Amino acid sequence: MLYFLMVSSMASKNTYDEHSIKILEGLEAVRKRPGMYIGSTDKRGMHHLVWEIVDNGIDEVINGYGDYIKILLHKDGSVTVADNGRGVPIGKHESGKSTPEVIYTILHAGGKFEEAGYKVSGGLHGVGASVVNALSSYMEVTIYREGKISQIKFHDGGKVLSPLKTIGESKKTGTIVTFLPDKEIFKNCTFSFTTICERMQESAFLLSNVTIEVIDEEDNLSAKYHYENGIISFVEYINENRNVLHKPIHFASTKNKIDVEIAMQYTDSYNEQILSFVNNVKTGDGGTHEVGFKTGITKAFNDYAKSNNLLKGKDASLDGSDVREGLSAIISVKIPEDLLQFEGQTKGKLGTPEARSVTESITYENIKFFLEENKEIALSILEKAQKSKEAREAARKAREQVRKGNGKNNKERVLSEKLAKATGKDYAKNELFLVEGDSAGGSAKPVRNRETQAILPLRGKVLNCEKASQHEIEANAELRQIEYAIGAGLGQSFDYTESNYGKVIIMTDADVDGSHIQILLITFFYRFMRPLIEQGMLYVATPPLYAIETSKGKEYIATDEELEEKKKTLKGNYKVQRFKGLGEMDPDELYETTMDPKNRRLMRVSITDAALAEKRIHVLMGDEVAPRKEWINENVDFTLEDDFRK
Ligand code: 28F
């Protein structure tokens, strides 16, 4: 019935004008609720505009047309994306408008998205180029096709500025889109060369033999990605700085219309690194394909170990985590549209049940075959897994000892020396401050709110956990104190519901050493208490950089920019004090500015892209300051907490 109504209204009533009004209403709806279409209007949302346009170019490549995509970040904040595909069709649409006008102004225009077998409509992908146009103050599409160069221009959220016209001749083919995100919608946002490069590199890995180039005209940076060996190159890239145990294992197969391709390689590290993709889009929260892969390798290794009598103890078996220790893997599955199901808030988790059984059986069969054909590699991986199992069991026994009381005194002793506890018993309300340096720690202890705030001073640099095993962590005094203070275990046995604190707050000086300590601590939490980050319980305190004293009193200033702004508004005499570190504030000042929930500004730590963060942590541990700063900006999504200064 509804279908009938739609058809009849299109056939008879829709005059050109009425059509145009509808289009403007459609685009206006996007401008009114941008979040519904692109998730958010922050930096992340603005990058969605780029992904949207780039994905159209990538689809053209996937369909077999073109092999080159270029992205230019211009100085004025606009972006150009170009491909060498067939070019958007330039003929007249049945409405009387040109096809490009329809594609770039009508929501979900064109059969392209429905037809393309693997176009992902999961989550926020594939909302269409018209959404980008609606959220841009300027957009220009140039098409090379049929021997001509044609161009159409829009402004002001998708209004036609100049209809499609021929502007030249050329034998080339392709599409070039330039757009300027609307500054009213994306306030103070800028594009990040790093973010765009990372995503483009990932796409280049997943679609072998395409070249993707990214150029930042503002900072004169450029990057070019081209990989002939697809996800094999991807896993090699991830393991670039690690010692690998063998050449990548690679297999691909199709079952029940689902394609599964996997590249995996063991390293001598303790980290597990699994990245999964569905129809070339990352599934950041995993899902059924990842579960299937994990079950498949666990079974294959256990079966192989048992049939070759390689396990100690007759009922012994390896846990999934033992089998994954040191493993890097890329899982890429292709699922037809009608079977696609996504879950979770950000739609980053595959729900399709069939993907689980298919990935599991393909993985199991291929790994089993590989192990039988490669005895030596099989033995080295199994030896490592066996060690992981033994370490896991030893750690569990040690924890049980502690629980039974034997270790308790020791634990108490470790803590009593340093930790100033909170007296309150409402753990969710309690806060643990990890403070850089004994002197700042000493200042914080007497002024804290004793009921809810605990202070643990940290001396000097924290152990770099990038390459440390759980044993090394447990042997490190500083980190053990943190573990005991939080009291919720470590690694696999970590249980955030047992935490003695609802908030863990890292408080360091606002200088280079301070930011280094932040990263080291975040790395520790990321590796050994990850649920704490996932639950939004980890924070970074932001001590002020300056205090300004005027006749009216003292005011604290957080950033250099704010200081400049403030200076402009001040007349008469004033005195600026710069705090080089927490230690330069007197205790009351420290409490007032950085610890008091009424005034302080806390930033919640959330790791945007876990896998790349892991790789980058590596880069960061060097002595260079710039990449570290950049890493903090790009990766750790410091979202302002609710209780920040006005
Ligand atoms: C810079 C971003 O958007 N590239 C694109 C094509 C090619 C075709 C197409 C696009 C036709 C009727 C929808 C060409 N020839 N890069 C891009 N390249 N869209 S977008 O078609 C759109 C459909 O309605 C194309 C034959 N078929 C398709």
Place 373 in a pLDDT band, splitting at 50, 70 and 90: very high
Q: d(Cα 332, Cα 243) in Å, to the nearest integer?
A: 24
- CATH code assigned at 242: 3.30.230.10
Burial (CB count within 10 angstroms: exposed 0-12, middle 13-18, buried 19+), residue 281: buried
Where are any strands of DSSP class E within 17-158? 68-73, 79-83, 136-145, 148-155
Q: Is residue 622 part of a domain?
A: no
* 277 Cα: distance to centroid of ligand 1 (angstroms): 24
In which element (H, E) is residue 8 found? Answer: helix 2-8
Cα–Cα distance, 380 to 243 (Å, whole number):
13
On whether both 539 and 598 belong to a single domain, the answer is: yes
Q: Which residue has the higher pLDDT, 516 or 146?
A: 146
Residues 244 and 213 in one domain: no
Distance of alpha carbon 51 from alpha carbon 129, whole angstroms: 10
- Answer yes or no: is 87 within a domain: yes
| Residue 271, pLDDT score | 83
The answer to whether residues 516 and 551 belong to one domain is: no
556 part of a folded domain = yes
Q: Do 527 and 555 fall into the same domain?
A: no
Q: Is residue 418 part of a domain?
A: yes
Choose one of 225, 250, 284: the last residue of a domain.
Answer: 225
- Dig out the tokens for 162 from the structure: 């100049």
Q: Are residues 291 and 330 in the same domain?
A: yes
In ligand 1, which atom is closest to the CA atom of 66? 18
- Do 500 and 430 lie in one domain? The reply is yes
CATH of the domain at 103: 3.30.565.10
Q: Which of 225, 252, 267 is the last residue of a domain?
A: 225
> Among residues of the chain, what percentage have pLDDT more than 70?
84
How many whole angstroms separate alpha carbon 170 and alpha carbon 150?
Answer: 10
Please say if the pLDDT value at position 613 is more than 80. Answer: no
Q: Residue 13 pLDDT > 70, yes or no?
A: no
Cα–ligand 1 centroid distance for 103 (angstroms): 9
Tell me the CA–centroid distance for residue 221 and ligand 1, in Å: 29
- Please report where in the chains the tokens 């994905």 appear, as a residue: 55
Confirm whether 267 is domain-assigned: yes
- Binding pocket residue ranges, ligand 1, CB within 6 Å: 53, 56-57, 60, 81-83, 85-86, 88-89, 99, 103, 110-112, 175, 177
Answer yes or no: is 238 within a domain: yes
Taking CA atoms only, the protein residue closest to ligand 1 atom 9 is 88
512 and 565 share a domain? no
Work out the mean pLDDT of the chain and round it to a whole number: 85
pLDDT of residue 208: 85
Compute, in angstroms, the gap from residue 456 CA to the centroid of ligand 1.
59
**Active-site amino acid positions:** 436, 509, 511, 513
Q: Which range has the top average pLDDT, 30-34, 111-115, 508-512?
A: 30-34
- Residue from 271, 255, 201 nearest 231 by CA: 201
- Name the residue at shortest CA distance from atom 23 of ligand 1: 112
The b-or-e profile of 486-519 (16+ CB within 10 A means b, else e) is bebbbbeebebeebbbbbbbbbbbbeeebbbbbb
| 262 vs 618, residue with greater confidence | 262
3 state SS of 554: strand
Q: Whose CA is nearest to atom 8 of ligand 1?
A: 88
Ligand 1 atom having least distance to the Cα of 177: 1
Burial-class residue 564 by CB neighbours within 10 Å (0-12, 13-18, 19+). exposed
Q: Read off the tokens for 166.
A: 């021929």
- 258-266: strand order across its sheet: 249-255, 258-266, 327-334, 273-278, 281-282
Q: Given the CA of residue 60, which atom of ligand 1 is nearest to it?
A: 18
Per-residue pLDDT tens for 40-99?
Answer: 899 989 999 999 999 999 999 989 999 999 999 999 999 999 999 999 999 998 888 999
In the reported structure, the alpha carbon of residue 59 is separated from the centroid of ligand 1 by a whole-number distance in angstroms of: 9
CA 263/CA 279 separation, integer angstroms: 16
Instruction: Find how far residue 347's CA is from the centre of its chain.
Output: 13
* Nearest protein CA to atom 7 of ligand 1, as residue: 88
Domain boundary among 225, 260, 280: 225
Per-residue pLDDT at 515: 79
- Per-residue tokens: 409: 């005194």
Pocket test for ligand 1, best of 52, 54, 55, 88 (most atoms within 8 A of CB): 88
The reported pLDDT for the residue numbered 397 is 78
Residue 415 lies in a domain: yes
In this structure, the strands spanning 68-73 and 211-216 are: parallel
Contact 81, 147 (CB under 8 A): no
Atom of ligand 1 nearest to the CA of 85: 18
Measured in degrees and rounded to the nearest 5, phi and psi for residue 134 equal -60, -30
Q: Which residue has the CA at smallest separation from atom 21 of ligand 1?
A: 88
Of all residues in the chain, the percent with pLDDT exceeding 90 is 54
Same structural domain, 421 and 356? no
Question: What CATH number corresponds to the domain at position 539?
Answer: 3.40.50.670
Which protein residue has the closest C-alpha to ligand 1 atom 19?
Answer: 88
In a domain, 639, yes or no: no
Instruction: Please tell me the predicted confidence (pLDDT) of residue 292.
Output: 98
If DSSP codes are grouped into helix, strand and coil, which group holds residue 119? Answer: coil
Asked if 171 and 40 sit in the same domain, the reply is yes
Shared domain for 208 and 267, answered yes or no, is no
Which of 86, 90, 105 has the most ligand 1 atoms within 8 A of CB, as the residue to mutate? 86
Q: How far is the CA of 87 from the centre of ligand 1 (A)?
A: 6
Report angle CA 376, 381, 383 to the nearest 5 degrees.
Answer: 95
Looking at the fold, whether 217 and 286 belong to one and the same domain comes out as no
Question: Ligand 1 centre from 113 Cα, in Å?
Answer: 10
> 260 lies in which domain range?
231-395
Total domains in the fold of the chain: 4
Residues 100 and 200 in one domain: yes
Asked whether residue 468 carries a pLDDT value surpassing 90, the answer given is: no
Q: What is the mean pLDDT of residues 382-387?
A: 93
